[in-house]
């Protein structure tokens, strides 16, 4: 399924069969019978789903940003991509985080293909996360990989660890922002960005 590290920092491959057996144990712990007809294939299906939920562990976000374009005729204002869907899982309860991300950067000499911005969001989202760290990871990766003049990232999401369990506040959403470079140093850029994403 994926590589995990033990205390000796060596990688150890966990097989699909081992993961499926772990889910059978969890089904028993829940009070279910994993051998009943409706659950016979459930461990296999859950492993397949988890490979999709957490595929970001096997992907390198910096590699996505390697190809850039210099033929932009001196464009040096912000590029803003709004309403990128976010589907992640919180690391505390493994409950879904569902929301949207807005990403902006100010190019120095080169720009990146628009789909690559959304792909970076996707890679970091497909890992166990806190929203604060997710926001910062996207921003710092874009800033470093694109050698940008500035980066801004906003995420607005619902955490099902709050809506389905615990305090159970179904309407609560969480907003995080992270600014680097000109977006952090110059409030006029920050304010323009916030106006753009509010539309």
Q: Which candidate in 102, 159, 160, 190 is catalytic?
A: 159
Hey, what are 88's tokens?
Answer: 């992640």
What is the distance between the alpha carbons of residues 109 and 145, in angstroms, rounded to a whole number? 13
What is the distance between the alpha carbons of residues 108 and 38, in angstroms, rounded to a whole number? 56
87 is catalytic: no
Hey, what are 5's tokens?
Answer: 């590290």
Which residue from 159, 162, 166 is spatially nearest to 97, judged by alpha carbons?
159
**14 contacts 50 by C-beta, under 8 angstroms:** no
129 is catalytic: no
What is the distance between the alpha carbons of residues 161 and 129, in angstroms, rounded to a whole number? 12
Q: Which candidate in 32, 81, 87, 91 is catalytic?
A: 91
Q: Which candidate in 21, 66, 92, 132 is catalytic?
A: 92
90 is catalytic: yes
161 is catalytic: yes
Q: Which candidate in 20, 89, 90, 137 is catalytic?
A: 90
What is the distance between the alpha carbons of residues 127 and 192, in angstroms, rounded to a whole number? 31
73 is catalytic: no
91 is catalytic: yes
Q: Which candidate in 131, 160, 182, 190 is catalytic?
A: 131
**Residue-wise DSSP of 37-75:** GGGTTHHHHHHHHHHHHTGGGG--HHHHT--EE--STT-
H or E stretch at 130:
none
93 is catalytic: yes
Q: Which residues participate in catalysis according to the annotation? A: 90-93, 131, 159, 161
């Amino acid at each position: 399924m994926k590589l995990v590290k033990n205390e000796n920092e060596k990688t150890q491959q966990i097989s699909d069969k081992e993961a499926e057996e772990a889910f059978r144990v969890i089904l028993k712990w829940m009070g279910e019978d994993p051998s009943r007809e409706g659950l016979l294939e459930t461990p296999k299906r859950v492993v397949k789903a988890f490979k999709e939920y957490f595929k970001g562990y096997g992907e390198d976000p910096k590699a996505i940003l390697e190809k850039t374009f210099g033929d932009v005729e001196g464009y040096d204002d912000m590029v803003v991509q709004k309403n990128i869907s976010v589907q992640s899982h919180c690391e505390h309860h493994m409950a879904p985080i569902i929301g949207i991300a807005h990403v902006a950067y100010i190019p120095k000499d080169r720009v990146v293909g628009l789909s690559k911005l959304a792909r970076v969001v996707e890679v970091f989202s497909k890992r166990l996360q806190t929203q604060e760290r997710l926001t910062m990871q996207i921003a710092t990766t874009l800033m470093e990989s694109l050698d940008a003049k500035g980066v801004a990232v906003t995420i607005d999401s619902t955490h099902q660890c709050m809506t389905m369990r615990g305090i159970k506040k179904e309407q609560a959403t969480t907003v995080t922002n992270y600014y680097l470079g000109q977006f952090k140093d110059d409030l006029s850029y920050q304010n323009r960005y916030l106006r753009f994403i509010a539309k």
